[in-house]
Homo-oligomer: A and B are copies of this chain.
Amino acid sequence: MTGNIYDYDSAVARYLEAWNAGEPQALAKAVAAAWTADGSYTDPLADVRGHEQIAAVIAGAHQQFPGFSFRLCGAVDGHHDTARFGWELVNDVDGSAPVAGFDVITLDGEGRIRQVLGFLDRVPAQA
């Protein structure tokens, strides 16, 4: 990376690319690009570490919500090695967004994610 060692927007873009990567090989590559090797992901439903476990959580979300995409919701607010942002899980056909959440990430010096602390703001009534 050049310039700002903490490029929050790029880190979040790689993070959402990983969440939207469907095919297993593409998913593995996107996860490795977004997270450090021992990076972690914790939300109300998961608490995992390392690329393999993170990819498995993402693949599970795709199974649960086929035809949906993760999208950034609002701006990324970063300082030091950390940033916060909201996201929505959007139905690719009708644009509805039954799930919304909020994540705080911490980055290493190369902009890869060391830690995700995730929370849910909106979940389906019947989930």
Pick the contact of A82: B42, B79, B80, B84 (CB < 8 A).
Answer: B42
Cβ of A66 within 8 Å of any chain B Cβ, yes or no, is no
Pick the contact of A43: B44, B79, B106, B117 (CB < 8 A).
Answer: B79
Measured in the bound complex, the distance between the Cα atoms of B107 and A42 in whole Å is 13
CB pair A117–B117 under 8 Å, yes or no, is: yes
Pick the contact of A84: B80, B81, B119 (CB < 8 A).
Answer: B119
Measured in the bound complex, the distance between the Cα atoms of B77 and A44 in whole Å is 10
91-127 of chain A: CB within 8 A of chain B: 102, 104, 106, 117, 119
* Chain B min CB distance to A70 (Å): 19
Pick the contact of A80: B42, B79, B80, B102 (CB < 8 A).
Answer: B42
* Chain B min CB distance to A99 (Å): 16
CB pair A44–B79 under 8 Å, yes or no, is: yes
Measured in the bound complex, the distance between the Cα atoms of B46 and A79 in whole Å is 10
Chain B residues positioned under 8 Å from A106 (CB to CB): 117
Query: A-side interface residues toward B, CB under 8 Å?
Result: 42-44, 47, 77, 79-82, 84, 102, 104, 106, 117, 119
